[in-house]
């Protein structure tokens, strides 16, 4: 049996002398749960200082061995506003030298004792085929939701060819009665009716496949959307993209956005892409992505453009394959119900 000591609370409850170790540990955790290189240390130092969005509550368990060395952590997050108030997520990490001694399980048990009573479902994600997945499988046999990570090598694109495609596409969508609108950070609120834009985002989010995950519909309000972008910016992301709108009414019907973090300049992350139902069937998803690709090639100095899609999201996968995206890994999600975690 391990004789571990725990600190349970928030970041501020971790004594300062452990904070650098903790910050590196979060980075190590990220590098094990993604096929991509993690952000530079500076990102994690800034992340540690950045206040979390007010719509979520969080609790952490820090675990120490007999010599009072920090050997692992558990975090849990849950919404306290808007939607899915009975759902949360969790993360467990143990330093490599201390693994397979039951510490991960002990941290998990400790964490689960402090999850508030309104939470009925908890989900955790790991890299497919990793030790993390083997760990999660000990407590739940089947994943509830899987995504493939795909990445495109940006050196495989010719800027001139992409520009030529976009000139044709602009004409084509104009003939259909639509236009592209460039987006950067919060400027959707001046370029569109803000309510309409956010409502479109909400519809796009709620249309994404959730497979067996019990997470319910998202409720996106103008304040919530704005605070999410604010949080991205505080983490060092540039957040930009394009919308497609009806020319006559300026109503947005689809958009794509990407995130480019100054602390990980080799990678550009694809964020949302979606088109609302009534305006599908015109190739707008691909058209939007060609537009943003041109901007990525012209303005950024990235090597790879990556995305993650539910493995059942056939339409988006087809688009990504046309854009030279290749599978580079899998993200797997495992969910536990309260009655299940109480027995661990």
Binding site for ligand COA (CB under 6 A): 29, 32-33, 91-94, 99-105, 124, 126, 130-132, 134-136, 138
The overall longest dimension of the chain from CA atoms, in Å, is 71
**CB nearer to ligand COA: pick between 34 and 256:** 34
Q: Please, what is the minimum distance in Å from the beta carbon of residue 130 to ligand COA?
A: 6
Q: Please, what is the minimum distance in Å from the beta carbon of residue 88 to ligand COA?
A: 13
**CB nearer to ligand COA: pick between 126 and 267:** 126
**CB nearer to ligand COA: pick between 18 and 186:** 18
Q: Roughly what angle, to the nearest 10 degrees, separates helices 41-49 and 19-32?
A: 120
Q: Please, what is the minimum distance in Å from the beta carbon of residue 74 to ligand COA?
A: 9
Alpha-carbon distance of 198 to 341, in angstroms, equals 36
Q: Please, what is the minimum distance in Å from the beta carbon of residue 169 to ligand COA?
A: 41
Q: What is the DSSP letter of 11?
A: G
Kindly tell me the sign of the dihedral angle through the C-alpha atoms of 89, 82, 213, 240: negative
**CB nearer to ligand COA: pick between 291 and 331:** 331
CB 171: neighbour CB atoms within 10 A? 10
Residue 276: which of 267, 285, 287 has the closest Cα?
285
**CB nearer to ligand COA: pick between 27 and 101:** 101
**CB nearer to ligand COA: pick between 16 and 97:** 97
Q: Please, what is the minimum distance in Å from the beta carbon of residue 44 to ligand COA?
A: 15
Residue 112 in contact with residue 330, Cβ under 8 Å?
A: no
Identify how many contiguous H helices and E strands the chain contains and give both numbers.
Answer: 11, 12
Q: Please, what is the minimum distance in Å from the beta carbon of residue 143 to ligand COA?
A: 12
**CB nearer to ligand COA: pick between 33 and 295:** 33
Q: Between the CA of residue 279 and those of 214, 245, 247, 321, what are the distances in Å?
A: 28, 10, 13, 22
Q: Please, what is the minimum distance in Å from the beta carbon of residue 45 to ligand COA?
A: 21
CA–centroid distance for 173 within its chain? 30
Q: Between the CA of residue 272 and those of 38, 56, 244, what are the distances in Å?
A: 21, 21, 14
CB 298: neighbour CB atoms within 10 A? 10
Instruction: Locate all alpha helices (DSSP H) within the chain, ordered by sequence.
Output: 19-32, 41-49, 103-113, 131-139, 159-175, 188-191, 194-206, 222-234, 284-299, 314-322, 338-341
Q: Please, what is the minimum distance in Å from the beta carbon of residue 11 to ligand COA?
A: 18
Residue 233 in contact with residue 185, Cβ under 8 Å?
A: yes
**CB nearer to ligand COA: pick between 51 and 96:** 96
Q: Which residue is nearest to ligand COA (CB)?
A: 132
């Amino acid at each position: 049996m391990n004789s571990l000591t725990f600190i349970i609370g928030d970041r501020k409850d971790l004594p300062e002398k452990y904070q650098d170790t903790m910050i590196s540990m979060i980075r190590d955790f990220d590098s094990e749960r993604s096929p991509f290189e993690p952000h530079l240390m500076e990102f994690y130092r800034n992340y540690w200082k950045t206040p979390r969005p007010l719509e979520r509550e969080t609790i952490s368990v820090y675990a120490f061995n007999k010599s009072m060395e920090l050997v692992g952590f558990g975090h849990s997050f849950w919404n306290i506003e808007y939607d899915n108030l009975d759902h949360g997520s969790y993360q467990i990490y143990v330093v490599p030298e201390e693994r397979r001694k039951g510490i991960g399980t002990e941290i998990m048990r400790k964490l689960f004792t402090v999850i508030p009573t309104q939470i009925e479902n908890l989900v955790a994600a790991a890299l497919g085929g990793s030790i993390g997945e083997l760990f999660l499988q000990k407590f739940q046999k089947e994943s509830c939701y899987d995504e493939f990570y795909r990445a495109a090598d940006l050196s495989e694109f010719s800027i001139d060819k992409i520009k030529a495609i976009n000139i044709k596409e602009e004409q084509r969508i104009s003939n259909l009665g639509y236009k592209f609108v460039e987006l950067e950070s919060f400027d959707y609120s001046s370029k569109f009716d803000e309510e309409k834009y956010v409502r479109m985002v909400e519809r796009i989010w709620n249309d994404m496949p959730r497979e067996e995950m019990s997470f319910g519909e998202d409720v996106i309000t103008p304040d919530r959307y704005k605070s999410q972008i604010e949080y991205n910016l505080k983490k060092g992301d540039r957040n930009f993209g394009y919308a497609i709108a009806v020319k006559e009414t300026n109503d947005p019907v689809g958009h794509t956005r990407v995130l480019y973090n100054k602390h990980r300049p080799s990678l550009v992350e694809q964020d949302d892409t979606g088109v609302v139902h009534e305006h599908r069937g015109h190739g707008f998803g691909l058209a939007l992505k060609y537009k943003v690709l041109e901007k990525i090639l012209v303005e950024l100095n990235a090597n790879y453009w990556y995305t993650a899609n539910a493995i059942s999201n056939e339409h988006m996968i087809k688009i990504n394959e046309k854009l030279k995206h290749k599978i580079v890994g899998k993200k797997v999600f495992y969910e536990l119900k309260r009655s299940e975690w109480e027995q661990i």
